[in-house]
Structure formats: C-alpha cells, structure tokens
C-alpha cells in the first residue's frame, strides 16, 4: 500500500512543482542561553526547527507515510584569532517522525545517547508545536577561551530499509541488516520514488555567535 501512496506523492510533487517554489521552506534557528550563574560565561546552545510542516514537501511526505528523520550534530569550536579554530568535541542526536494511519496519530522516537524515547501526538498541530519547540542542548565547552557552536541538521525521508535498521536498533539488535533486502525490485522502486519526489534529504547549517568562557 505504501508504494502505491508513494507513487501518488511523486506525481503530486511533479505536478505542483511551481507552487512548491512559493511555499515556506523548513529552517533552523540557533541561539545562546544567558551566561551561567557561576560567572564563567559558559552558554548553552538553543536549537529550533522552523516551519517543517509549513514546507509542503515534508508535510506531504509524512501524509504519504514516509517516515522523516531529523539528524542533529552540534560541534563545539574554540576560536583562535589569527589561527585555525580548534575543534573540541561533538554531540549527536536524531528524531524519527512517523504517521500511523490506522491509529490516525503521529509517533516520534528520539534516538539519544541515553536510549530511545517514544512519544505520540494525536494531531498534526500537536506534533508541529512539539517540533517547533526551542530545545537547549546539554553540552558545554571544556576549559576557557572564546567558543562557538556549529549545528548541522540533516532532514531525510526514510526508505523501508532505513526503517528496518532503526527497528533492529530499537529492538537491541545490530544496526546492520542481517539478511538481504526482501525485494531488490521493491527497494529500487522505493529509491526511484524518493528521487522523483525530490525528497532524498536536506542539509541545514547554522553557527552561533562567539562567547567567552573564563
């Protein structure tokens, strides 16, 4: 059933391409928290995904049962005037969003270092409010100096194979499939539809302003 829906999505994307060019696009906003209360000047990064479902490409993908994955990577950099900036460390996390048509609800799975966290939302508006919430990343620079954060966001529509790997991971198994794809024709068709729909992925990148840690 999903493959027939995918074909409809691809056809709709092709026919409505001029209209899509005028619709809002998803965006990434990054800011800094106020300086810490210890007087060191350390500041957390605050991350917000804007207009994910106002962007018709991703709204239609979710409607047609394409799971959407948001993969974040935040790098901490020490700024060195007159020299190459120094990479200190990075932290990563992901969110997988799925529409469940039988239950008419949305499932969100946060893939965190501490483990997966699953929540469900009854309406698209509830989901959109949650996606648009500003979140503070629990990571700070080590030592003193002038720092900034470099935040990257990868948005991708997931294939059946991708979802199988994620489900294996959540079940405690290997992230690498232990058996061949059920149907190479089905996988090829899936990839063709993703390319035709223009939904292989989108990359966003924002750097924060610099701040001094004593």
Q: What is the model's pTM?
A: 0.73
Domain residue limits at 15: 2-213
pLDDT tens readout for residues 76-135: 999 998 789 999 999 999 999 999 989 999 999 998 877 889 999 999 999 999 999 999
The mean per-residue pLDDT over the stretch 41-55 comes to 94
The number of angstroms, rounded, from the C-alpha of 17 to the middle of its chain's C-alpha atoms is 23
Helix (H) or strand (E) holding 213: strand 211-213
Domains contained in the chain, number: 1
């Amino acid at each position: 059933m999903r493959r027939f829906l995918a074909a409809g999505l691809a056809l709709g994307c092709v026919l409505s391409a001029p209209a899509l060019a005028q619709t809002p696009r998803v965006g990434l906003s990054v800011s800094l928290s106020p300086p810490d209360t210890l007087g060191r000047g350390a500041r957390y990064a605050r991350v917000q995904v804007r207009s994910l479902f106002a962007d018709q490409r991703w709204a239609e993908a979710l409607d047609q049962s394409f799971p959407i994955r948001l993969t974040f990577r935040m790098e901490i950099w020490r700024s060195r005037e007159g020299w190459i900036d120094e990479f200190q460390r990075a932290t990563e996390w992901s969110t997988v969003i799925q529409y469940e048509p039988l239950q008419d609800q949305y499932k969100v799975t946060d893939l965190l270092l501490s483990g997966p966290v699953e929540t469900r939302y009854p309406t698209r508006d509830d989901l959109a409010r949650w996606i648009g919430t500003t979140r503070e990343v629990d990571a700070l620079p080590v030592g003193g100096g002038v720092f900034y954060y470099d935040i990257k966001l990868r948005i991708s529509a997931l294939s059946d194979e991708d979802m199988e790997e994620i489900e294996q991971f959540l079940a405690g198994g290997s992230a690498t499939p232990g058996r061949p794809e059920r149907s190479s024709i089905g996988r090829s068709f899936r990839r063709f539809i993703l390319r035709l729909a223009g939904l292989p992925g989108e990359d966003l990148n924002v750097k924060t302003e610099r701040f001094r840690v004593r």
